[in-house]
Amino acid sequence: MMGPNQPNPASLGGGFIVLAALLAVVWIFLNSTIAIELVLTGVLISAGLAYAFTRKTGVWQDVAVSPARLYHFILYTGRFLVELTRANVNMLRYVYAPRIKIAPGIVKINTRLKTPVGRLALANSIALTPGSLVVDIDGDSLFIHCLDLQTIDTDQATRLIAGPFEEQLEKTFG
Amino acid sequence: MRRASIVFAITFFGLLFASVAINHTQSVSLWPLARSYVELVPRELGAPNVITGILLNYRAFDTLGEVAVLFMVAAGVGLVLGRQPNPTVADPPETARPSSEIVQIATRILAPLISVFAAYIIMNGHISAGGGFQGGAVLASCLILWLLADAQFQVDVKLLGLLESVAGVLFVLVGIAGLIFAGGFLDTRVLPLGQLGAFFSAGAIPILSLLLGIKVGCELSVILARFRA
Amino acid sequence: MAELVGSILILIGAFFHFSAGLGMVRMPDAYTRMQAGTKASTLGNTLVLTGLAFYHPGWTLKLVLIIYFVLMTNPVSSHALARAAHFIGIPMAGNSGIDALRDAQQTKRSDP
Amino acid sequence: MVGSLLHPLNIFIVGLGGAFLIPLLNRLGSRWVASAFIFALAAMTLMSGISLLEVLNGSPPIDILTGGSKPPYSINLRAGLDEAVFAFGVNLVGLIGAYYFLREKYGTILIYLLLIMGIQGMVMTRDLFNLFVFLEIVSIATYGLLSLRDTPEALSATFKYLMATVLASNFFLIGTILLYATTGLLNIDDLIANQQAIAGPIGFAALIFLLASLLVELKPFPANGWGLDVYETARGDVAALISGGVSTGVFFALLKLLPLFEGQLEIIAAAGVITFVVSNLIGLQQTTAQRLLGYSSIGQIGLLTIAACLLRLANVDSATFLLIAGGLFINHLFAKVGLFWLADYVGKARLQDWSVLKSRPAAFLAFAVLLAAISGFPPFPGFWAKWQLVMVLAQDERYVWIVLILVGSLLEAAYLFRWFGQTLHGPVESQTARAGSGALVPIFALGLLLIISGLITSNLAGLNSFWPLIPLAAGALTLLIAPCPAWVQCLTVLGMALLGGGWLISDVTGLNGLFAVLLLAGGVTIAIASLYRNDTRPGFYPLLAVLLLSLPALPRASTTLEFFFIWELITLSSYFLVVRSRDAQRQALPFLLFSLVAAFFLLAGFAILHADSASYSLSALRTAGPNSAVVFVLLCVGLLIKAGAVGVHVWLPGAYAASDDDVSALLSAVISKVAIFGLLVGTYVAIRSEVSLQLAHVLGWIGMLTTLAAAMMAVCQDDMKRMLAYSSMSQLGYIVAAIALMSHLGWVTALYLVANHLMVKGILFLVAAALIARTGKRLLSDYGGLAGQMPLTFAAASIAILAMSGLPPFVGFGGKWLLLSAMMEKGWYGPALMTLLATFVGFLYMARFIQAIFLGPRRPDYADLEEAPAALLTAQALLIVGILVMSFFPKVLIEPVSRAIDPQFASTLVWQGMSLEMIYGTWNPIPIMLLAVAVSALLFGLFWYLQHAGLFKDMARRLARNLSPLQRFYAFCRTAFGVLTPPWASMFWSRVAVTADDLALCARSIYTGNGQIYSLFILYYVMALYIAAGGLRYLWP
Amino acid sequence: MISSIVLITGLLLILIGLWGALTHRNILRIIISFSLMGTGTHIVIVAIGYVKNGTAPIIDSALGLAEAPQRAVDPIPSALVVTAIVIGLAVTAIMLAYAIRLYDTKKTLSIEALMESRW
């Protein structure tokens, strides 16, 4: 596995720009103004931090930004919010049921996502979808704790659990 | 016997505290001194955040003192724990179960974001709630996260120590600048006050805040790193 | 008007938070409690922060950042907890006995 | 520009900036770190020194502003006189002590630097919360440094220390914020100005929390187990920092806040005095050096606390305050820090292992100097401070406090000097101290600083002339020629004594002049005898120089302070001379303690005299007011103890017998006369008041009882030096009685007897010295028939015995006769009768001395004894000349004496050869003397008869059978007198000692080593403080 | 009213901390108790600074320069508490470091093991 610890010096530049831009955006969001001295300071700080962190990790080099990806990211966010609400309604059913009837268990699913960031997003999404929680990850396999076990077959479970997100995530993070 | 005497002592302190609490009345207006601060800080120092103004100008000597406290603790923890090579030091990386990929990736993504947030807190200390200490603490929390996620992560204590020293020396130098160019030691009015509420304003307070943030962040990080070792 | 919307959102958010708390109490084991806690509190947070944005429109950008931050951290922490719980062998409720992770680890250990 | 560079603000800039720079410099190399460290400390010391000088020169306190604004808005600090003294002291010690830290890691060094800076901050800051910050800086620095020793015990102790100090600093914070809640102020000056606003339950609780926190940080008894554990287990130099530095900072914080605690001053002082006395009591039971030093340290801080509060109550001016508080502080700082460093140097935990110091004379010297300083001996600052403190307290009529302070000081001296004795006499190990001698340099520096600061304080205390310091200078000079052979040193000392002493007495007149001549001549003459020893006696000659020059200096004293100063010099130098002897380990300590008690009585007497007459002049004794009876009693008790009156004599025989033989002669012949001189000077006071004259009668009885009892005990002795010691005591009894007569005749008698006894006892002790030097035996029963071998010694002894026994024509006759006449004149028939009795008993032991040693059958093993060494004979010969002159030309002495005695007494007698012409007519002494001889013969016969009649048969039966009739007679006498003089006094005093030890055992049992119990103690301490200050009324509304 | 509730909370925390520090046997628990006590003190400080209907003493759109003296809470305790918290943290860190050393040397965290020096 290409460890997340090892930055790839060759592609350092790419990660740097992405991260710096992200941080600068965050900075401007935080300050909520675009006064010139503030933005300049923000760019400086972002650049410094981005330099420091891209030397520490190669995660950011997998993140590329393009309009298509952004579009998919927004789509994914929408999808995600729907799923999150569903998950909560689902959860409310359990929580307010007079007797909680569940059959928990841990199943294994496989993911096609290759980039660490993508997998992270997938795992996070799964954690917020109805009745599932990622317990462990090992390579391409994710082990999911399900509140109400519907299948123990890996492929079927993959479709059920990861299905809603995987496509968008693949397009966003590769 | 022993338990009873403890109970007795605590009861007594309870009574004492009760007498304090009963006789405490919520104040309806500020003490004259406090009121003067609220008026003085924006006017004289140009900082909207009165607390930061107090901390970094009027009571900057206190602040310098507490920086020294942290500095000493960083060194002191090193002295206490660094006496003999601890047999458990070398162990954790091999025996400890590495944290999952999810946590590791999340850490790597979050850490820069936390850092930029810390920078925001530090740099806005004079304008809004925040300041060097708070920002420094956030900065150090970033390191905690990293340490938790990655057992093998080696903190560059030397670099951090260097940074904190430089920041400390600069802090003192800014204080001396106040002595030479303004009203006295640690007077922050060595730089123009600027417009109230602007990013670059309030004299040297943002600079002190920045130095403080770096210093506190480094010191807390050094302390944490020493604890792990 | 905006304040009314904001208040309602905050109220709903608080309701989810309450549900999260209740779920933590009612659910049978560590994993399921974590599920309840994670999901409900994430949504609760999101709603409360959105509600706040109606009160203070100037804070919207910061609040968006915070929401993303919560979305990113909440699941990760519950994952870390669940993983640790599984590692030290905290049993699952119910009697399904299905634990793919345990099985995977056992096969891994038997043929290194 | 230079001025602004040396502004005290820069102390903090240098301290903090230096500390921040150190990690950077460490990258360049450890050498850089060390030089920056030293440079920073030196700069800080220089700055505080300059500000001290400035304030001393009368400039107003230096204000240090921060934040570009005035207080109360910003934090300000102040370097006034007190601040400058304390800061400079700490800086100086910090700079010197840096030596031990130079090779440490850079982390340690920066913590050390910040600690020193933090203490300055605690001393100078004028902001309450800033004080808290500095308190924490100091505490945390201490925690860091405590890790330098990481034995399990040290770690445990540090954790206890952490618990306690964290608790205390939490209380400080609570107090601060509650104070803010009631006043809205943090500036200490403003708080003091708005003191009346601090009222009600919250204000009260705030004050108590602040006070409790500071007191707890000062480690008060009983809430101080954690502090002791740290003192015991920490590295010596770190413990030194805690004792000297941290405590200083906290103490000064308390001092600064004292105006807020106006209503609690007595309570604080009580807390201090409890700590002082009990700590020093428990100190008696300690076996490890650092823990003992810990108790002493805590006690000293207690003393400082008492002084601070009581001086505030007494409203003394700032100069006096500085003298006392500053003197006590400097003394504690330098001496305690030095001892802790020495503990590191020695590297032995247990007291008994400290005897390794013996192999390093230099270190041993430092040890003695530091101990003497802590115990409040001159010339160290503590002496002057204590003197002034007692004066102030007496003026304020706080007698109980004086007593408690003196009791505590005595206990402290007891265990410190017992430790000294142990160290001096402990077994010599082959293994020496572990540290290199470089580690001694800082300790020496402190010793030097102690002496310098002592000289400065002496000036402040009112000792304006330099002559009282001559003895010390002579001692120091002699120390420089220590490598020379013994005889060179001895001759130098004698020369210095003659020159210096001659100068000292040159313009002393009257009675004082006579005594001066007597003491100087007697001292020098007997010191000649010291030439007979040609072994190197380390430390002997410098001490001898101090002693010989102090003796003539005493009569020169015209103020009570000068008198007391020289008195203590004599006490200290004679103690060291005594303790040097190999046999004296057990005897020297009672000698010192009784001498100290005596000195304390003198001190109290002088203090009341000063309170009464507002004068330090000794002549004030003659014009003392209504309190004179108290003064008289105090002075008399002190001097009687020193003179070895019956009941308080228990120190005397041991000390006389156990010291080196020539020292014994000095003690008995010369030093004992110092007490007599004091009595003569001190009892002037009695003349003016009727009460005191009644008391003088009591004094007379005590004198005669002493004479009789001591004579009887002398008969019981077999050890010849003990016998001579009791004899000496007996003779002093006569003199005391003569003084007590308070008449011209009585006083002439006293002086006459003084001269007589000086010469006679000098000879006899030197004879004993000769005998012991030749035979190595001390028991009379081991001797016999030496007259042939040592004819000159025999002759000298005979003349001395005859002169003492009061047979015509020798001086003793005149003395006895004068005494009897004086008693008859006053109508003191009881004492007169006792004089006769004592004369008889005296005759018994004196005869035995001659008989047992020189007469009778010669022992075979003494066949080829040589005559005594020439040095001894020379001294004896000189004394014999004196006796002869006095015997045949009594006018030489009597007339100046008669003239010198206070002209207020009517002149009553003229000496005309064998008879005295008095204003009442002529008395012929012969019949009286005949009567005396007749009574003696009668009594002798009676005893002989009683023995033969078998009255004390069972006693006699216990005696060995194979004795000659004379020996059997003496054996009988010894038994009989043994019955007549039961050892009540020694039983009583050993009971006292045992009780003190038991009390100490009992008190220390609260130190269980349990950190939580210690924390609980702290809570209870706060509670007690709250209740004592009257807080209960707030709890039950 | 508000400040009294906060004040009582703080004082109670101090009491709980005291109780824990005196009764627990485990060094770590004792350290936590001390830390709790410190937190209680900090809360007391904040409570003391509260002014009726006060808001944070930060001049911004919500709090004008002119009305600040009437509407702001006392800034001094707030400033003090920052310092106090940092110092409390420092002390806790040192205590923990010693706890680690003690555990290394004694292999136990019981306070009963720390009774070497006495008398």
Summarised one tens digit per residue, pLDDT across range D725-740 is: 999 999 999 899 888 8
* CA D612 to chain CA centroid, nearest Å: 25
Chain D touched by E91 (CB under 8 Å): yes
Chain D touched by E19 (CB under 8 Å): no
- Average pLDDT of span B132-156: 82
SS3 A88: helix
Chain D touched by B180 (CB under 8 Å): no
pLDDT of A138 over the 50 cut: yes
Contact E58, E47 (CB under 8 A): no
Structurally, chain C folds into a number of domains equal to 1
Q: State residue B93's pLDDT score.
A: 47
Q: Which residue has the tokens 């007519």?
A: D921
pLDDT of D506 over the 80 cut: yes
Q: Which residue of B has its CA nearest to D137?
A: B69
Phi, psi values for residue A108, rounded to 5°: -110, 135
Which residues numbered 48-107 in C keep a CB inside 8 Å of some CB on A?
A: 58-59, 61-62, 64-65, 71-72, 74-76, 78-79, 82-83, 86, 92-94, 96-102, 104
Nearest to A135 among C76, C83, C94 (CB): C83
Nearest to C80 among B99, B109, B110 (CB): B99
Instruction: Taking each helix axis as running N to C, give the angle between helix D672-682 and helix D560-580, from 0 to 180 degrees, rounded to the nearest 10.
Output: 160
Q: State residue D430's pLDDT score.
A: 58
What whole-number percentage of chain D has pLDDT above 70? 92
Q: Do B51 and E82 touch (CB under 8 A)?
A: yes
Chain B touched by C76 (CB under 8 Å): yes
Q: State residue B184's pLDDT score.
A: 77
pLDDT of E29 over the 90 cut: yes
Nearest to A149 among C61, C83, C96 (CB): C96
Q: Do B100 and C69 touch (CB under 8 A)?
A: no
Whole-Å CA distances, D170 to D7, D209, E24: 33, 9, 19
Tell me which DSSP letter residue D866 carries.
Answer: P
Q: CA–CA separation, D13 vs D528, rounded Å?
A: 61
Range of lowest pLDDT (A150-154, B146-150, D388-392, D752-756): A150-154
Q: Which residue of E has its CA nearest to D1019?
A: E18
Q: Do A59 and B105 touch (CB under 8 A)?
A: yes
Chain B neighbors of A55, CB-CB under 8 A: none
**Which of D478, D442, D449 lies closest to D573 in space, CA to CA?**
D478
Q: Which residue of E has its CA nearest to B222?
A: E93
Q: State residue D948's pLDDT score.
A: 67
| The one-letter amino acid at A158 | T
- Average pLDDT of span B31-58: 83
Q: Name, of C64-73, D2-11, D566-575, the range with top average pLDDT.
A: D566-575
| The one-letter amino acid at D839 | T
Q: State residue D429's pLDDT score.
A: 66
Contact D465, D559 (CB under 8 A): no
Closest-CA distance, B62 to chain C, in angstroms, reads 32
- Average pLDDT of span D113-125: 92
Cis geometry, peptide bond prior to residue D60 (ω within 30 degrees of 0): no
**pLDDT, greater one: A8 or D251:** D251
Contact D16, D117 (CB under 8 A): yes
Q: Which residue of D has its CA nearest to B77?
A: D144
SS3 D64: strand
pLDDT of D431 over the 70 cut: no
Chain D touched by B16 (CB under 8 Å): yes
**Is it the case that chain A and chain C have 3 or more CB pairs lying under 8 Å apart?**
yes
What the block records as the tokens of A72 is 């998919």
Q: Do B103 and C76 touch (CB under 8 A)?
A: yes
Nearest to D16 among B32, B57, B172 (CB): B172
Chain B neighbors of D212, CB-CB under 8 A: none
What DSSP letter does each residue of D878-918 carry, written as one string?
HHHHHHHHHHH-THHHHHHHHHHS-TTSPP-EEEETTEEEE
Q: State residue B88's pLDDT score.
A: 47
Beta bridge partners, D182, equal none
Average pLDDT of chain A, as a whole number: 75
**Which of D291, B170, D337 lies closest to E117 in space, CA to CA?**
D291
pLDDT of B90 over the 50 cut: no
Q: Do D133 and B66 touch (CB under 8 A)?
A: yes
**Using 50, 70 and 90 to split pLDDT, how confident is the model at D23?**
confident
SS3 D784: coil
**Using 50, 70 and 90 to split pLDDT, how confident is the model at B91?**
very low
- Average pLDDT of span C88-100: 72
What DSSP letter does each residue of D431-487 carry, written as one string?
S--SS-GGGHHHHHHHHHHHHHHHHHHHHHHT---SGGGHHHHHHHHHHHTTTS-HH
pLDDT of D775 over the 60 cut: yes
Which residues of chain B are at the A interface, by a Cβ-Cβ cutoff of 8 Å?
Answer: 100-102, 104-106, 108-109, 111-113, 115-117, 119-120, 123-124, 150, 152, 198-200
Q: State residue D919's pLDDT score.
A: 46
Range of lowest pLDDT (B172-176, D67-71, D429-433): D429-433
Q: Do C61 and A102 touch (CB under 8 A)?
A: no
Q: Do B73 and E79 touch (CB under 8 A)?
A: no
Tell me which DSSP letter residue D127 carries.
Answer: B
Beta bridge partners, A109, equal A142
Chain E neighbors of B63, CB-CB under 8 A: 83
Nearest to A45 among B100, B111, B116 (CB): B116
Q: CA–CA separation, D728 vs D723, rounded Å?
A: 9
Mutate to test the interface with E, among B41, B50, B84 (most CBs of E within 10 A): B50
Chain E touched by D1015 (CB under 8 Å): yes
Mutate to test the interface with B, among A8, A39, A59 (most CBs of B within 10 A): A59
Whole-Å CA distances, D54 to D3, D8, D59, D81, D84: 11, 11, 6, 9, 10
Chain B neighbors of E96, CB-CB under 8 A: 227
Nearest to B102 among C69, C79, C87 (CB): C79
Q: Do A137 and B109 touch (CB under 8 A)?
A: no
**Radius of gyration from C-alpha coordinates of chain E:** 19
Cis geometry, peptide bond prior to residue D809 (ω within 30 degrees of 0): yes
Q: State residue A9's pLDDT score.
A: 46
Chain E neighbors of B3, CB-CB under 8 A: 23
Q: Which residue has the tokens 């100290």?
A: D596
Whole-Å CA distances, D836 to B152, D845, D916: 100, 15, 20
pLDDT of D614 over the 70 cut: yes
Summarised one tens digit per residue, pLDDT across range B173-228 is: 888 888 888 777 877 777 777 777 777 777 788 888 888 888 888 888 888 888 87
Here the CATH number for the domain that contains residue C42 is: 1.10.287
Contact D765, D727 (CB under 8 A): no
Q: CA–CA separation, B224 vs D889, rounded Å?
A: 94
Please name the residues in contact with D994: beta carbons below 8 A apart, sequence gap of 6 or more. Answer: none
Q: CA–CA separation, D34 vs B127, rounded Å?
A: 42
Chain B touched by E11 (CB under 8 Å): yes
Summarised one tens digit per residue, pLDDT across range D887-923 is: 777 777 777 777 777 665 655 555 555 455 554 445 5
**pLDDT, greater one: D16 or A138:** D16
Q: Do A4 and B105 touch (CB under 8 A)?
A: yes
Question: What CATH number labels E2-53+68-113?
Answer: 1.10.287.3510
Q: State residue A4's pLDDT score.
A: 45
Nearest to B199 among A4, A35, A50 (CB): A35
| The one-letter amino acid at C53 | A
Q: CA–CA separation, D660 vs D655, rounded Å?
A: 10
What the block records as the tokens of D118 is 């933090």
Q: Which residue of E has its CA nearest to B27?
A: E51
Instruction: Kindly report the number of other CB atoms within 10 A of residue D674's CB atom.
Output: 23
Q: State residue A1's pLDDT score.
A: 35
Q: Do C73 and B106 touch (CB under 8 A)?
A: yes
Nearest to D21 among B23, B161, B165 (CB): B165
Which residues numbered 40-99 in A keep a CB inside 8 Å of some CB on B?
A: 41, 45-46, 49-50, 53, 56-57, 59-60
Size of interface B-E (CB pairs under 8 A): 146
**Which of D243, E97, D578, D607 lies closest to B86 in space, CA to CA?**
E97
Q: State residue D251's pLDDT score.
A: 93
What the block records as the tokens of D121 is 């901050």
Chain A neighbors of C92, CB-CB under 8 A: 104-106, 145
**pLDDT, greater one: D46 or A123:** D46
Prediction ipTM score: 0.88
Quote the domain boundaries for residue C49.
Answer: 2-110
Mutate to test the interface with C, among A88, A137, A146, A151 (most CBs of C within 10 A): A88
Chain C touched by B109 (CB under 8 Å): yes
pLDDT of C13 over the 50 cut: yes
**Which of D970, D24, D454, D45 lies closest to B159 in space, CA to CA?**
D24
**Is it the case that chain B and chain D have 3 or more CB pairs lying under 8 Å apart?**
yes
Range of lowest pLDDT (B186-200, D555-569, D698-712, E1-15): B186-200
Whole-Å CA distances, D479 to D167, D541, D586, D1023: 50, 8, 27, 54
Contact D120, D48 (CB under 8 A): yes
Strand order in the sheet with D909-912: D909-912, D915-918, D921-923
Contact D254, D308 (CB under 8 A): yes
Burial class of residue E29, CB neighbours in 10 A (0-12, 13-18, 19+): middle
**Which of B57, B214, B224 lies closest to B123 in space, CA to CA?**
B214
**pLDDT, greater one: D117 or A125:** D117
Q: Do D66 and B186 touch (CB under 8 A)?
A: yes
Please name the residues in contact with D962: beta carbons below 8 A apart, sequence gap of 6 or more. Answer: none
- Let me know how long chain B is: 229
Q: What angle do CA D777, D782, D787 make, to 5 degrees?
A: 90
